[in-house]
Amino acid sequence: MATDGQRWLVLVGFLAVTFGVSAVGGIFTSMGMPDWYMGLEKPAFNPPSWVFGPVWTILYAMMAVAAWLVWRASGFQGARPALAMFFVQLALNLAWSGIFFGLQAPGWALVEIIILWAAILVTMILFFRHSTVAGWLMAPYLLWVTFAAVLNGAIWWLN
């Protein structure tokens, strides 16, 4: 059984990994943002740019806490498939930024975000098996990625 100090250290670890992915994704985003993305035709429902930072910050924090709750409930061994899937979806999350902004390939990013969406759904289902709260903490992320997929598809279609 983990001590209180170990529990908090694991939470910090999940936050660090999750926000590390966010930071690398931010590098990809900044590569395509000033010239390429700003010049794209976007649908009327495209949110203003300032919305994305706060939304993603909240979602990344919720993801990290969800993974931590799963770990607290079952440990790394007991939650191996759920936590492995968590890291798979996190890698896919990063890959989307690299494909969309880094490679400036919205068509391929659309294919990738559909795979990401499925990975998030599987992660959420697996999380529910360990912690109801953890499963629900993944729901806003799944909804946002659903919206992002529609937005990605619209941008691809318009350009």
The pLDDT of residue 1 is above 70: no
Residues spanned by the domain of 84: 4-158
Q: For residue range 13-29, list pLDDT tens digits in order.
A: 999 999 999 999 999 99
Tell me how many domains the chain contains: 1
Does the pLDDT value for residue 2 go beyond 80?
no
Distances from the Cα of 151 to the Cα of 35, 41, 105, 134, angstroms: 19, 11, 14, 27
Which CATH number covers residue 152?
1.20.1260.100
pLDDT digits (tens, 9 = 90+) for 32-53: 877 899 999 999 999 998 999 9
Nearest CA to 92 among 79, 109, 80, 71?
Answer: 109
Distance in angstroms (rounded) separating the CA atoms of residues 60 and 158: 29
